[in-house]
């Protein structure tokens, strides 16, 4: 049940930090995504929720992964079918993906069950047609996320990669660059901020990102005294999920 009482106590579960002001959010989610148009998540029953006026509002449908961004609200279900919200309802879109990301400049990115990588150009992503043409990318990733300065991904060995020269009309980009470190999931915010979680449940932020240096300069370990399985960021807030699906919201202090 989404609104089960959380057993997580922030006073004992998280370190005091001058950088973050964190609080527990009621509910349970297995995946969450924050974007300029809101915060969405799914629970262990594949139920879909949106954070509205400080509470979770159920959205009809069943998904295992949901994403919100400039390209709209998209998701995939257990059969890897792809859906997007159109006219306030879920509409099926051709193709099969296990993870999708709407954070690019109104283009889509995602990976399938075989870790093949795909993207959907802006005109296709914004089309009202249910039949679209996905553009394949070379390589293999288990998680792929895009932002205004490029796309980031991690492969089955937790290696981290950055994709250069991604654009709405050339969403496949030009080349990969491996980035130092190891993460099992990674997310890019609407402003280009990059956060990730490693196999030990530690959360990291990529520092030094700019238009001149889109890959950034270094990783900073975030000061949370708890195991984290999922992280997402937008509008000044980090959203964290623990292995027991507890939800944490952290305001990043100025």
pLDDT tens sequence across 123-163? 999 999 999 999 999 999 999 999 999 999 999 999 999 99
Radius of gyration of the chain (CA): 17
Predicted confidence at residue 160, as pLDDT, reads 99
Percent of the chain with pLDDT over 70: 93
Alpha helices, DSSP H only, in 37-184?
122-125
Q: How confident is the model at residue 17 (pLDDT cuts 50, 70, 90)?
A: low
Q: Is the pLDDT of residue 15 over 80?
A: no
Maximum distance among all alpha carbons in the chain? 50
CB under 8 Å to 34, separation ≥6 — which residues?
68, 189, 232, 233, 234, 235, 237, 239
Percent of the chain with pLDDT over 90: 89
Lowest mean pLDDT among 148-152, 195-199, 222-226, 234-238: 222-226
CA-based end-to-end distance of the chain? 35
Q: How confident is the model at residue 9 (pLDDT cuts 50, 70, 90)?
A: very low
Instruction: Count Cβ neighbours within 10 Å for each residue of 75-113 and write b for 16 or more, e otherwise.
Output: bbbeebebbbbeeeebeebebbbbbbbbbbbbbbbbbbe
Q: Is the pLDDT of residue 7 over 50?
A: no
Predicted confidence at residue 223, as pLDDT, reads 86
Dihedral class, residue 130 (left if φ above 0, else alpha if ψ from -120 to 50, else beta): alpha
Is the alpha carbon torsion for 179, 182, 185, 190 positive or negative? negative
Q: What is the pLDDT of residues 22-53, one digit of tens each?
A: 999 999 999 999 998 899 999 999 999 999 99
Q: How far is CA 70 from the centre of its chain?
A: 13
List the Cα angle 130/132/138 in 5-degree steps: 145
Structure tokens at 17: 């930090």
Distances (CA, A) of 181 to 145, 154, 218: 17, 10, 9
Q: Is the pLDDT of residue 16 over 90?
A: no
DSSP calls for 123-153? HHHT-S-S---PEEESS--SEEEEETTEEEE
- Domains located in the chain, CATH noted: 18-252 (2.130.10.30)
Q: Are 173 and 137 in contact (CB under 8 A)?
A: yes
- Closest of 53, 31, 54 to residue 41, by C-alpha: 31
Q: How confident is the model at residue 4 (pLDDT cuts 50, 70, 90)?
A: very low
| Mean pLDDT across 184-205 | 97
C-alpha torsion 212→142→157→225, nearest 10: 80
- Strand, coil or helix: what is 108? strand
Structure tokens at 21: 């002001």
Predicted confidence at residue 14, as pLDDT, reads 56
Q: What is the pLDDT of residues 68-108, one digit of tens each?
A: 999 999 999 999 999 999 999 999 999 999 999 999 999 99
Predicted confidence at residue 171, as pLDDT, reads 97
């Amino acid at each position: 049940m989404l609104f089960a009482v959380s057993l997580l106590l922030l006073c004992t579960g998280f370190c005091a930090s001058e950088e973050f002001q964190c609080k527990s959010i009621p509910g349970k989610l297995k995946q969450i995504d924050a974007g300029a148009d809101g915060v969405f998540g799914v629970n262990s029953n594949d139920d879909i929720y949106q954070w509205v006026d400080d509470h979770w509002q159920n959205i009809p449908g069943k998904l295992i992964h949901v994403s919100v961004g400039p390209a709209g609200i998209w998701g995939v279900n257990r059969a890897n079918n792809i859906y997007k919200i159109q006219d306030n309802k879920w509409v099926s879109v051709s193709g099969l993906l296990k993870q999708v990301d709407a954070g690019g400049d109104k283009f889509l990115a995602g990976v399938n069950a075989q870790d093949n990588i795909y993207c959907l150009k802006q005109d296709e992503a914004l089309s009202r047609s249910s039949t679209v043409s996905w553009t394949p990318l070379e390589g293999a990733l288990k998680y792929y996320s895009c932002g205004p300065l490029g796309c980031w991904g991690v492969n089955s060995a937790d290696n981290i990669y950055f994709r250069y020269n991604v654009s709405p009309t050339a969403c496949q980009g030009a080349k990969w660059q491996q980035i130092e470190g190891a993460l099992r999931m990674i997310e890019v915010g609407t402003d280009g901020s990059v956060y990730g979680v490693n196999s030990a449940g530690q959360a990291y932020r990529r520092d030094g990102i700019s238009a001149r240096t889109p890959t950034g300069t270094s990783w900073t370990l975030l000061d949370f005294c708890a195991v984290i399985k999922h992280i997402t960021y937008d509008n000044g807030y980090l959203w964290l999920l623990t292995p027991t699906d507890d939800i944490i919201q952290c305001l990043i202090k100025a």
